[in-house]
Structure 1
Amino acid sequence: SMAGDVNCKVSAGEGVRRFSWDVRGDWPDQKLDITVSLKAWLPGAAPDYMVIDLDGGDRRFYASADDVPLTVTNSVYKRDKLVMRRIPAAGVTWRMGQPIGGERCDGNAGNAKEASLRDNETAHFVAFTDDYYIGIFEVTQQQYRKITGASPSTMKTGTGRDDVTGFPVETVSYDALRGIAADSFLGWPQTGHVLGEGAKLQAFRDRLGLNSIDLPTEAQWEFACRAGTASALNSGEECGDAIQNHVDGRLDKLGWYVGNAKPNESRPEVLYEGPREVGLKLPNAWGLYDMHGNVHEWCLDWLSLGDAYRATFAADWAAGGVTVDPKGATSGTHRVMRGGDYFYSSAWARSACRSGYPALPSDAGRHHGFRIVCSGTLD
């Protein structure tokens, strides 16, 4: 029952800040001894959790998930507010892609085999200059509707789903989010984080007061997904059974994929095919949900494969050189999508998987969703 200037950004020259606490309302008929402590964070080292009210853009900050009122999986954070987690990325060198020995990933579409996938998921070292925030959930239907005024999603209420407002928004294209590339707007990476005309992400920037909001690069996405792990799944485990239409018990607890989100004989309790409400499975070590499965998530990068992909690495990558703040290829036809979705096997959902489901920027498929990132330095 605290109100006023609590858990918020304070800038020089703003004058007196006030907050109030209804102590008797919280603990009636009690004798209390109260000690007040004040903790401050510098703008470049803000607390781990940022909660944004979608109705007015008000931002509140918390040191941990436990400090967020009502717990982060409460319905309000899937519909009326948006929770972002600070990712400790600055100066960290990590291995992006599959391990040198490969990992179990057979089972992708078109009978793609492990060797060809490994060729497009080459292990190399990456580092970032700065921390960043990323949404703990995929953007939901109601969040998207609150910001843009409408939801393009095809998933409606029906058998087994009385309320889909907390489901990830889908059927949204890259072009709708960032604007259509043209002569005056080349898009990522040439024009950086500048958005094109009519971009829906501009509505997010305007409403939330954060001009750095964008899609993640695929390196940012994979680093956040892994949360320090080097395995296929961010639980620290490898895939159990990556064949299409097979059940993978190791992925069951982490995300929605073909084994638990599509009706099949072995799982009569599954009532429909499609995404599920965000935040129902286990999070990774950084508190991010549904990084494996549910809907594929758009990333900024053009998709490049094989030698063309390796050409985006540091020149000395094969000798252990580090690629700093990778931006991907400078041109292409398809944009990267990450994380797998409800229709495909665990092979598509692996942390390293980057070529399982490429998509044209104009493609608004029913598997296509997104989550947002923003700078770790507060605007």
Structure 2
Amino acid sequence: MPAQASVIDTAWHPLVNGHAPPWASGWGEDRFGVFVEITVDDVTQCLRWIRPGRFTMGSPEDEPGRYGDEGPQHEVTLANGFWLFDTPCTQALWQAVMGDNPSEFKSPDRPVERVSWNDAQTFLQRINERIPGLDLTLPSEARWEYACRAGSTTALYTGGIKILGDNNAPALDPIAWYGGNSGWEFDLENGRDSSGWSDKQYPHERAGTRPVGLKQPNAWGLYDMLGNVWEWCADPWHDSYEGAPVDGSAWLDDGANTGANRVIRGGAWVSNARGVRAAYRVRSHPYDRVNNLGFRCSRVQP
């Protein structure tokens, strides 16, 4: 079992008197905790409750595959809980809100991809208009990592990682679609050529995204936090965590409105093993549209 980070003890419950928020179409509680649902047309999306807490953000210097921009490690305290999509935004939900589907690997239950950071902002504006009071945003980088870790302190939310080759880390196979397994028995005809990828965990010739929710979730009921598609965060890119907020908020500064690169997290179907860890972080231009980049939505609870 992975080591556990500390979690603030709170009696506050996200639902009042057993009623869903007015913007939700349903709610429930299971072994992962409380969830709510939103519905656009006939498409329903689950959001998981991420309780307040504190965690250590970033990776230790001895973590296998670590890059220098994953530090310095620092404690972050989230005083407020938040709701988070339990999967990346699907093509079905995008289609219901936006009326189109830009994805290369088309199927309703796959993550939407080929959407820029700016495209995601348009989606957020439109879905919030459709459902008054919903107030979805992109998660901050800190909230994303806190949710991904789900109380763990290790490279993966299931424990450590042993990297046997560029695309071979057996601990990833149960939880993530990455370069080592994303082409294994791939089911679409338009998969990208993966024949030249080195050290694959499983042999494959073409690869791409997979339907959401097929791999094991983390301890808070979140699927595909690692692998499948990269996920946009709210924050502009910073080369390290020197001076980063310690309250979980997005790190917005003078570069926030200048077209600066934005943070993406989680790794993707095309990523090598070291790029699919809870602390791994990359930048992308807010206009970029690529077939391994999507997003999931959050709502911070006041």
* Cα separation, partners in 2 of 1:310 and 1:227, compared to 1, 3 Å: same
Deviation, structure 1 residue 273: 1.0
One of 125, 131, 138 as aligned partner of 2:81:
131
The residue that corresponds to 1:111 in the other structure is none
| 333-342 vs 205-214, greater mean Cα deviation | 205-214
Deviations 1:218-238 (A, max 9, x none): 001000000000001011x22
**1:292 equivalent in alignment to 2:226:** yes
Deviations 1:113-144 (A, max 9, x none): x4xx1344320000112100001010110111
How far apart are the structure 1 equivalents of 2:252 and 2:94? 29
The residue that corresponds to 1:176 in the other structure is 119
- Say whether the 8 Å CA contact 2:81–2:301 is kept in structure 1: yes
Deviations 1:308-348 (A, max 9, x none): x30224xxxxxxxxx12332141442100000000011211
The residue that corresponds to 1:241 in the other structure is 163
Give structure 2 stretches of 5+ with no counterpart: 1-10, 184-193
Deviation, structure 1 residue 239: 1.7
Deviations 1:137-167 (A, max 9, x none): 10110111011111111113xxxxxxx2100
Higher relative contact order, chain-length normalized (CA < 8 Å, sep 6+): 2
* Cα separation, partners in 2 of 1:103 and 1:266, compared to 1, 3 Å: closer
- Say whether the 8 Å CA contact 1:261–1:343 is kept in structure 2: yes
TM-score, scaled relative to structure 2:
0.80
How far apart are the structure 1 equivalents of 2:68 and 2:301? 32
- Say whether the 8 Å CA contact 1:86–1:376 is kept in structure 2: no
Structure 2 counterpart of 1:335, one-letter code: R
- Say whether the 8 Å CA contact 1:218–1:301 is kept in structure 2: yes
**1:94 equivalent in alignment to 2:55:** yes
Q: After the TM superposition, which residues 1-379 of structure 1 pair with which residues of structure 2 at under 5 Å, given as runs?
A: 45-46=14-15, 59-64=25-30, 80-89=43-52, 92-99=53-60, 101-105=61-65, 114=66, 117-156=67-106, 164-178=107-121, 199-235=122-158, 237-241=159-163, 243-244=165-166, 246-262=167-183, 263=194, 267-268=202-203, 270=204, 272-306=206-240, 309-313=241-245, 323-332=246-255, 333-355=260-282, 358-376=283-301
Deviation, structure 1 residue 58: 5.2
Give structure 1 stretches of 5+ with no counterpart: 1-41, 106-113, 157-163, 179-198, 314-322
Structure holding more helix per residue: 1
How far apart are the structure 2 equivalents of 1:50 and 1:363? 40
- Say whether the 8 Å CA contact 1:84–1:135 is kept in structure 2: yes
- Say whether the 8 Å CA contact 1:126–1:326 is kept in structure 2: no
How many residues align structurally?
Answer: 270
Deviation, structure 1 residue 271: 6.0
Query: Aligned Cα RMSD in Å?
Result: 3.0
Deviation, structure 1 residue 175: 1.0
* Cα separation, partners in 2 of 1:128 and 1:172, compared to 1, 3 Å: same
Identity %: 30
TM-score, scaled relative to structure 1:
0.65
- Say whether the 8 Å CA contact 1:51–1:82 is kept in structure 2: no
How far apart are the structure 2 equivalents of 1:253 and 1:68? 24
Deviations 1:171-198 (A, max 9, x none): 00001122xxxxxxxxxxxxxxxxxxxx
| 258-267 vs 137-146, greater mean Cα deviation | 258-267
How far apart are the structure 2 equivalents of 1:311 and 1:353? 18
